[in-house]
Amino acid sequence: MADFETLYAQYYEQIYCFCYRFLQCSESAKEVTQEVFIRLYERMGQQAPELENSRAWLYKVAGNLSMNLKKKNARRQSINAGLYESAGASASPEEVLIHHENLERIKEIIDQLKPRDKFLILLYQEEMSYREMAVATGIPINSVGKTLWRIIDKIAKTLKNEDDA
């Protein structure tokens, strides 16, 4: 296992960005990220087998702390528009407008998800493996894919229902 300084240098920015997208607040993201690495430092002094997959452990702690903070603050926040690619530069103004409207609708739907489902979608966007997502969320590895599929299907059905209305 790598030493603390190596893990900090390797993952600090990723964990901060993850927390920021989850919390939509720079200060909150900095606080949670700091707490994640404090906990890592404290754990490294112990023989902690869960640290064998340091990346997954860091995301698990970051996700749990972010969800706890979000519950504590009891405010609704949206996912950062940076999670999604914007319309291509060659798109017409109408296409750009439609694209941005669709992104806003998707962000609103994702923001309505249960915290655990939102957490899983963010991990998926971080291109984590199913194994890493399982460690980070506590969902059995053989259920991660099915759970993701259900969340994505729910988003798609919600969008379709809005279009049909």
Instruction: Say which CATH number the domain at 158 has.
Output: 1.20.140.160
Q: Is position 121 within any domain?
A: yes
* Model pTM score: 0.54
**Any domain includes 71:** yes
Assess whether pLDDT exceeds 80 at residue 146.
yes
In a domain, 88, yes or no: no
From CA 24, how far away is CA 57, in angstroms rounded? 22
Tell me, yes or no, whether 21 lies in a domain. Answer: yes
The number of distinct structural domains making up the chain is 1
Is residue 85 one of the residues assigned to a domain? no
Residues 20, 74, 64, 23, Cα dihedral to 10°: 0
At which residue do the structure tokens 């609704």 appear?
Answer: 76
Map residue 143 onto helix, strand or coil.
Answer: helix
> What stretches of 24-129 show up as alpha helix (H) in DSSP?
26-44, 54-73, 93-111, 115-125
Residue 17's pLDDT band (cuts 50, 70, 90): very high
86 part of a folded domain: no
Q: Render pLDDT for 69-117 as a digit per residue (tens, 0 to 9).
A: 887 765 333 333 333 444 445 567 777 777 777 778 888 888 888 888 9
Tokens of 111: 């923001």
Any domain includes 46: yes
75 within a domain of the structure (yes/no): yes
Range of the domain at 136: 4-80+93-164
Question: At CA 73, angle to CA 113 and CA 15, rounded to 5?
Answer: 70
